[in-house]
C-alpha cells in the first residue's frame, strides 16, 4: 500500500429472504446465519409475501420480481444470496422431489450468478422447528415434545402447525412463537446441517446453503 493511501474497506453484503409469511421469514433470518459457513452477511427480509409452490405459468415472473426486489434491498451492498421459503402443505414424497427440482431449476436460471437456497418446508416450517425439541422447552419450560414425535420422519407429519397446537397448550402454540423457537435453537447450539432428527426438506435446504461456500 502506498504512503498516504487509505486501507480498502470490504464491501458490505446482504442475504435477502423472500417467501409466504412474516413469521416464516423471521425463522429463516435466525436459521441462515447458523448454517452459513464463516461470517454471515446481514440477513434482510423481503416483506411482500410471494408464493411459489403452486405457481406454474407465473413462476418465472415471480422469481424475476424477487430478484428485482432483492437487488433493491441490497442497494449499494453486494447481494450475497437469495433464500426463498414456501410451505409444501404436503409430505415429502415423489411430488415433493418433482416440485423442488422444478423450483430449483427455475431459480438457478433466474438467479444465475447469485447463490440461492430453497426452503421448501414439508409439511410446514413447524416440522423444521421440531428437529430442535430443547428449543421449545427453553422458550417455555412447560413445553415438551413427545418422544415419539422426536423419533419420527417429520417430513411426513401432516398439518404440523395443528399438531403442535394440540400438543402444546400451556401456553398454547401460536405461529408467532416460531421465530422465537428458532432463535432459542440457535442460541442453544442445537442447529447444524445434520441435526439428530429426521426431515428431508430441512436437509435439502441445508445442502443448498452448504453449496454456497463451495462455489465461492
Instruction: State pLDDT tens for residues 32-46.
Output: 999 999 999 999 999
pLDDT score recorded for residue 6 = 47
Mean pLDDT of 20-37: 96
Give the side-chain half-sphere CA count within 13 A for 13: 13
Confidence tier at 48 by pLDDT (50, 70, 90): confident
Task: Among 7-16, 27-36, 59-68, 154-163, name the one with the lowest average pLDDT.
Answer: 7-16
Confidence tier at 215 by pLDDT (50, 70, 90): low
- pLDDT of residue 1 exceeding 70, the answer is no
Q: What's the per-residue H, E or C state across 71-115?
A: HHHHCCCEEEEEEEEEECCCCCCHHHHHHHHHHHHHHHHHCCCCC
Mean pLDDT of 36-65: 86
CA 10 – CA 26 distance, rounded (Å) = 27
CA 19 – CA 95 distance, rounded (Å) = 20
Nearest to 127 by CA among 106, 145, 107, 101: 145
Q: Which helix (H) or strand (E) holds 18?
A: strand 13-18
User: Which residue's entry shows cell 400451556?
Assistant: 170
Q: What DSSP designation does 58 have?
A: T
pTM of this structure: 0.91
Mean pLDDT of 181-188: 98
Confidence tier at 52 by pLDDT (50, 70, 90): confident
Amino acid at each position: 500500500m502506498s504512503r498516504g493511501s487509505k486501507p480498502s474497506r470490504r464491501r458490505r453484503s446482504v442475504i435477502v429472504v423472500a417467501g409466504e409469511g412474516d413469521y416464516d421469514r423471521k425463522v429463516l433470518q435466525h436459521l441462515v446465519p447458523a448454517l452459513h459457513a464463516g461470517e454471515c452477511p446481514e440477513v434482510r427480509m423481503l416483506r411482500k409475501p410471494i408464493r411459489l409452490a403452486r405457481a406454474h405459468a407465473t413462476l418465472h415472473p415471480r422469481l424475476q420480481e424477487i430478484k428485482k426486489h432483492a437487488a433493491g434491498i441490497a442497494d449499494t451492498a453486494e447481494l450475497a444470496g437469495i433464500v426463498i421459503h414456501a410451505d409444501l402443505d404436503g409430505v415429502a414424497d415423489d411430488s415433493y422431489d418433482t416440485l423442488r427440482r422444478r423450483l430449483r431449476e427455475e431459480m438457478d436460471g433466474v438467479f444465475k450468478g447469485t447463490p440461492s437456497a430453497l426452503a421448501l418446508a414439508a409439511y410446514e416450517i413447524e416440522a423444521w422447528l421440531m428437529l430442535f425439541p430443547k428449543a421449545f422447552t427453553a422458550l417455555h419450560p412447560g413445553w415438551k415434545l413427545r418422544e415419539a414425535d422426536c423419533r419420527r420422519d417429520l417430513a411426513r407429519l401432516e398439518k404440523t402447525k395443528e399438531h403442535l397446537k394440540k400438543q402444546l397448550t400451556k401456553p398454547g402454540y401460536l405461529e408467532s412463537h416460531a421465530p422465537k423457537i428458532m432463535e432459542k435453537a440457535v442460541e442453544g447450539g442445537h442447529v447444524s446441517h445434520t441435526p439428530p432428527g429426521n426431515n428431508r426438506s430441512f436437509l435439502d435446504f441445508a445442502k443448498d446453503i452448504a453449496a454456497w461456500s463451495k462455489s465461492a
